[in-house]
Structure 1
Amino acid sequence: MNDEFYYRGLEKAKQKDYAGAIEEFNRALQLTPYFAEAYLQRGLAYYDSGVIHQAVSDYTQALNFYPDSVEANYCRGLARVALKNLPGALEDVDRAIRLNPHHAAAYNLRGIVRRKQGYIQDAIANFKKAAELYLAQQDKENCRLCLAKIKQLQPPEKQIVSPQNSQITPIISTNEYFKQLLEKAEKGDTRSAIADLDWVLQADPQDAQAYCCRGVVRCKMGNYQGAIADFNQALQLNFHDAVVYRNRGKARSLLGDNQGAIADFNQALQIKPQDALIYVARGNVYRAIGNYLDAIQDYTQALQINSDDAQAYYNRGIAYTFLEEMQHAVADYQRAASIYCEQENWENYHQVLNSLKKIQQSSPESKQQKYNLLRQRLLRLVGGYWEIAQKLIEQQQNYHPGMSQEWYLQKVIDDLERDRGR
């Protein structure tokens, strides 16, 4: 009777009715508690339905009864990878290969584990062995996938290392590999970088760092919604790195979600409070919503961390121009231009010079200077929010129509200073 339940479970699993399959296997095991194959198949059903911990428990139970089961060792290794238990996964896959040296999928899985551990050369050797076995089995599709993994892992200047010469010491770490892909994207080859990252994620859909890296590249391509989806996936896989929040914040700001962007930058700063890039990014959002004083504070904080940050000087200069503090703006523009010149970053150098030229060519007439000074005083009184100042000016225009702009500015200033007891 237990065989009947077991075979019904296999049929339901084949139809992807995993809950029904688990129920049938439960019945089989109630009749025969030592039925190793039923534990294995129930573990597969649990794995396919996403209940990974329970799958590992069933594979372990199967191995207690049948420790030389190649499939149970391989399946537990696969599940342990999903649980990020890489040492345990490596033990299982090593045992599966010892029991069956021609198990192509086991070599492929060991390649994935070694790549995640940062041992790229050893990963390549395992993918190569898997490709050879798949080819011998006339499984051309899996062979092609293994060769593609080798290609995207292999540094351009290196040749593929044969298994006989494979060493445990890695050629490059996983972080260095992703850094190479980001450098490729920075040089404009974003399509190739995306293709490489797609291969990584096809090989291991649980690679949170790859999602983060692909999100950064998608941002460079202007695909901000796709980038946010990748950053969300990285966070769901518990990759709570400051770079994820910082870059998701940038993408959200570019889509117009300024408050969401600020929330992301705040989260990033809790993780990495000495990252100047985060302060500059948050300062840009503050500036975009008209909060110039907080923007200046963030740019200043970034410069305390990195005094040679040309972008922080330039952006702070822009914020100062909105507050009509032209002397400070000119000083920041000049400092930014000097740094860009030293870096031979000519595109940004000329952009700063153009901004500096516009300030220097502004009208020196006393009337304009007076208006600018009044506007600057009023902005300070309302915390840098010109929208508030504009509403106060409009109220005075309604009460006292026909007066000059300078008169309205002075009237609002006088009223605010009187109310504050100045």
Structure 2
Amino acid sequence: MRLLRWAISANSTILILMKGHLKSILLLAALVVGCPCLAKNASSGSSSIVLAKVYFARGLNNLRHKELRQAVSNFTRATQLNSKYAAAFNNRGNALTDLGDFKGAMADFDKAIKLDPTASYAYNNRATLHEKLQDKSGALSDYAKAINLDRNYSTAYYNRAQLRLDMNDLEGALIDCNQSIRINPNESRPYYTRARISITQNNLVSAIKDLDQSIKFDSRDAAAYGNRGWAKHRIGQNQSALEDLDQSIRLDGSNSLNFQTRGNVKLSLGDQNGALTDWETAIKLCPTSVVYCLRGITFLTLGNRASALHEFGMAVRLDPNNDFAYCKRGDIRFALGDVAGAFDDYNLAIKTNSHMSLGYRYRAYANYKIGNIRQAIADIDEVIRLNPAYSYNYTARGLFREEIGDEKGSVEDFSSAIELDPNLVCNYLFRADANCKQGCALQCASDYFDALQLNQQASWKHLIDFCRQRYAELCENSGKICQFSKTNLIPHTVHSDISPEEQMSLFWFLYR
């Protein structure tokens, strides 16, 4: 009896199962103290069912502690004792899934469903296995069956939401997330998935609100902190983003993307060395071409061309199709006097990504720098063919055409640039200059007047003064100019967030 008392106290599950069953008590005692013969002799009929539940409970405990092989062993014993034990087959399927035995897991889920066609949990688990096997239609079908069997199955809604998001069915994913949250508003995962939907839709404020809720219900979720930090960085809340990313890295220091994003945040906060350190860690965890490019750009801003050259070289080694890395490495080579090497890189950029304009744009400027103006124009022609809606391309071609004396062509290009972006001051100045060279004082004055109007609210004083002076000089030479300008002005709106000086700087940055 002392032995029996120990057996009962050793496993609380036994207490639940033993009520009124002396034979079952003996079975359980035999199981705990390791008397398989006694258990075998006594295990028949209802006693076998009771004993199966004990093995099942032990299997569940194994699952909770990630003891997968022990779990499989205990669930197997449970099914041997009770061949109709659907829940045991289902949970053995879960353990086999985690062990990577997908074939065995699928057989177990099928068996569980055959034994109990109303087992919504088995359909849900089989659906997740279908996902692992890339059978998305099979997964959707099983999730639907699970939900039809249990309309309040929040986990099935949540799992289907994730699948629909991965399939880019944002509307369906959102409906499922909302339903999961309605059923269980204190579960973190649906909020996290709904935040991912908002991020995909570039609705970052909504994403942050949902990530707040996700973290509220699971403060140990590193991914939620990481994504919230990324979203905050995108809307300019860099200090708060840094705090989130710090916490994400404290919880999980193995995610390279967190270090990459934190590097971006530190760069935005002016901590270039901190950014380089984080990107170095990201590379150690998972080297990517993108991170090497980030380091290369930062080294360039620090004036360290040698290190930048190395970083862009590593970028193309990891991703031979990275046209941006080829272009930047080409720029460095060009600056260092290796013109042939630079053109090799520009040509590689075009070869690897001929449907994008980047390589042509960089090669155009290099041709311009060495005096091959007509070849530069040919490259910009290709840039415009690939990207006809970008005003800066027309500006560049206009400048190149002006270099070879084609003022008429340059005026056409500056006009196209103005049509695409009527708020960019530099195009009015460039067109005014080209019109001036053609002796078109009327059009020249109109452009200076327009540039002046755009700059009235700007702090770029020397440009305003220049436009005012040139406009006044031209008005003195023609009494008709003032009247023409007043009646033929193109309506403009001044950029509230980008100053003309910044616009001009951006242009020269792209084509420097």
The TM-score, its normalising length taken from structure 1, stands at 0.52
1:75 paired with 2:160, answer: no
1:347 paired with 2:394, answer: no
- 8 Å Cα contact 1:299-1:313 kept in structure 2: no
| CA distance in 1: counterparts of 2:510 and 2:311, whole angstroms | 29
Aligned mate of 1:23, from 63, 73, 81: 73
Change (3 A) 1:26 1:71: same
| CA distance in 1: counterparts of 2:318 and 2:89, whole angstroms | 44
- 8 Å Cα contact 1:303-1:312 kept in structure 2: no
What's the secondary structure of 1:68's corresponding residue? coil
| CA distance in 2: counterparts of 1:27 and 1:91, whole angstroms | 31
Aligned-residue sequence identity (percent) comes to: 20
Change (3 A) 1:280 1:51: farther
User: 2:303 is matched with which residue?
Assistant: none
| CA distance in 2: counterparts of 1:186 and 1:331, whole angstroms | 39
- 8 Å Cα contact 2:326-2:348 kept in structure 1: yes
- 8 Å Cα contact 2:165-2:197 kept in structure 1: no
User: 1:328 is matched with which residue?
Assistant: 370
Higher relative contact order (CA 8 A, sep 6+): 1
| CA distance in 2: counterparts of 1:2 and 1:48, whole angstroms | 23
Q: If you compute each CA radius of gyration, which structure gives the higher value, 1 or 2?
A: 2
User: 2:471 is matched with which residue?
Assistant: none
- 8 Å Cα contact 1:77-1:89 kept in structure 2: yes
Change (3 A) 1:260 1:151: closer
Change (3 A) 1:111 1:143: closer
What's the secondary structure of 1:102's corresponding residue? coil
Aligned letter for 2:396? I
- 8 Å Cα contact 1:249-1:261 kept in structure 2: yes
Change (3 A) 1:73 1:289: farther
The CA deviation at 1:94 is 0.5
The CA deviation at 1:86 is 2.0
Aligned letter for 2:172? D
User: 2:290 is matched with which residue?
Assistant: 247
| CA distance in 1: counterparts of 2:311 and 2:261, whole angstroms | 21
Aligned letter for 1:346? M
Q: Deviations over 1:369-398 (max 9, x none)?
A: xxxxxxxxxxxxxxxxxxxxxxxxxxxxxx
Ranges in structure 2 where 5+ consecutive residues have no aligned partner: 1-50, 207-229, 246-255, 268-274, 300-306, 381-391, 400-416, 418-423, 427-502
Q: Structure 2 matches for 1:19-418, cutoff 5 A? A: 19-48=69-98, 54-135=104-185, 139=186, 141=188, 144-145=191-192, 148=195, 151-152=198-199, 220-221=264-265, 222=267, 223=275, 246-251=289-294, 253=296, 256=307, 261-262=312-313, 264-266=315-317, 268-269=319-320, 272=321, 276-283=323-330, 293-302=340-349, 305=354, 306=357, 309-314=360-365, 316=366, 328=370, 339=396, 345-350=503-508
The TM-score, its normalising length taken from structure 2, stands at 0.44
Aligned letter for 1:126? D
Change (3 A) 1:100 1:307: closer
1:6 paired with 2:164, answer: no
The CA deviation at 1:107 is 1.4
Aligned letter for 1:109? N
Change (3 A) 1:36 1:229: farther
Q: Deviations over 1:342-395 (max 9, x none)?
A: 586521445589x7xxxxxxxxxxxxxxxxxxxxxxxxxxxxxxxxxxxxxxxx
| CA distance in 2: counterparts of 1:190 and 1:301, whole angstroms | 36
The CA deviation at 1:18 is 2.0
Change (3 A) 1:267 1:123: same
- 8 Å Cα contact 2:60-2:71 kept in structure 1: yes
What's the secondary structure of 1:107's corresponding residue? helix
- 8 Å Cα contact 2:161-2:193 kept in structure 1: no
Aligned letter for 2:293? K
Q: Deviations over 1:109-132 (max 9, x none)?
A: 221111111111121111111111
- 8 Å Cα contact 1:310-1:339 kept in structure 2: no
Ranges in structure 1 where 5+ consecutive residues have no aligned partner: 160-181, 198-210, 236-243, 321-326, 356-422
- 8 Å Cα contact 1:124-1:153 kept in structure 2: no
- 8 Å Cα contact 2:121-2:146 kept in structure 1: yes
The CA deviation at 1:99 is 0.7
Q: Name the Cα RMSD after superposition.
A: 5.3
Change (3 A) 1:267 1:146: closer
| CA distance in 1: counterparts of 2:100 and 2:289, whole angstroms | 31
Change (3 A) 1:277 1:28: same
